[in-house]
Structures are given as structure tokens and as C-alpha cells.
Structure 1
Amino acid sequence: MMPQLQELPPAEAPVDPTVFINSGPPPWIETIATLGLMVFVGAVLVYPLVRAWARRLERGVVTDELMDELVQLRERVAELEGQGHRMVELEERVDFAERLLTEARETARLPREGGG
């Protein structure tokens, strides 16, 4: 004997599909959609502002004392750059003086012509 299969009754839809067609969506869906749209637009508009604010906080506050110190440091750097040119010129002078001294010593060591 073979077991007999019983036919299942057709499944009923949990919600009548004609409800949405005839009366539209329930009112709470409009509220949720509006809130979702507001959150999305708010996030799109506020995100760049929050990023700029965070960058500003990371940099810190620039005070007048810091600006004065920065100006002084820039002046000192400019002064040191000028002294760098002086150093190069002084090095060239020392090299020239060393060459003159070396030449004078070499001429003193060389025997004189005809003097034997």
C-alpha cells in the first residue's frame, strides 16, 4: 500500500493585496520615509561641516604669540641664509691663502738657478 498524499489547502495571503491598491499605503510609511529622507539629507549636508570642524580642532588654535614666534623664526632663517653666503666667501679666501702659503714654501725649498 502506498501512502496517499493529502492536498494542502492553498496558502492565504497575510495581507489582502487590494488594500494597497484601493486605499494606498498606511500613514506610518509616509512618516518613516520622511524621517529617512531627512536623516539622509542631514547626513549629506552635515558631514562636510563635521570634517572641517574636526580638522580645525586637530590643528589647534593659533594665538598671537605663536604668530609672533613664527615671524621671528622666519627672520632668523633669512638672516642665517645670508650668513651662508658669507661662509662660502670666507672658505674661498682661506683656500686662496693656503695656496699662497704652499707656493711660498715650495719656492723656498727649490734650489735657485745657477746658484748651486
Structure 2
Amino acid sequence: MKKMLSMLFVAFFMAGCADASGRAIEEFKPSKDNEWHIVVFYENDPPEEAYQSSLNGIKVFLARKNIAAKISYQQIEDPKNYRELLQVEPKQIVVFDYKGVRLKARSPEVLEGMVLQLN
């Protein structure tokens, strides 16, 4: 009986954690299947101009593949702690599509390589 209760508690705890993560993903997901939302997480200051320019180049390339992309910059711990919710680090790029997380990259160059490999 005691073992059963403890297992039930663990299951509810895990479900609660997954639910918070799911809500965090939902806020970034686009509504259409041919849309991507590129989110760059940062700690103190948004990335510099060259970094943002690289992402804009990727956005143009995606437009040629008929994928509308939106780029946003999100502070990693404000208003939520995305470091824990989405397991991201500063300057990490997460690409969301209508299903959820599509790609994760540590730099625009890595993301560009991933995008070039898409069919």
C-alpha cells in the first residue's frame, strides 16, 4: 500500500512537470504547419548584430522553401525559468513548428547546417 502511494505520488509529480514544459512549448508554437518560430534564449543582453544577421539569413532561406519563420529573443529566466522548463542554455536556439520543438542548435552556423539538410 505504501509503495503504491509513493509510486502514485511520483507519477503525479512527473505529470505536473511535463505539463509545465508543455505549456512553455505551447506559447512558442506557431499555428500553421508551414510556419516556424525561431527562439534565441539569452541571459542578460540579446545577441549582437552579427548573430541576429545570421538568423535573418536563415529566415530568408526558409522563405525560399515556403516556410514562414518568425525570430524572437527570449530572456532565459524571465518571466519563466526556461532553463529548467525547456532544458536550454544561454544563446541556444530552439525552433518550434506546429507540433512542438523541431530543432535545437547552439549557434546560427549549426542551425544553418540543419536547415540545409532539410528536404
Structure 1-normalised TM-score? 0.26
Q: Which has the higher strand share?
A: 2
Question: More relative contact order in 1 or in 2 (CA 8 Å, sep 6+)?
Answer: 2
Larger radius of gyration: 1
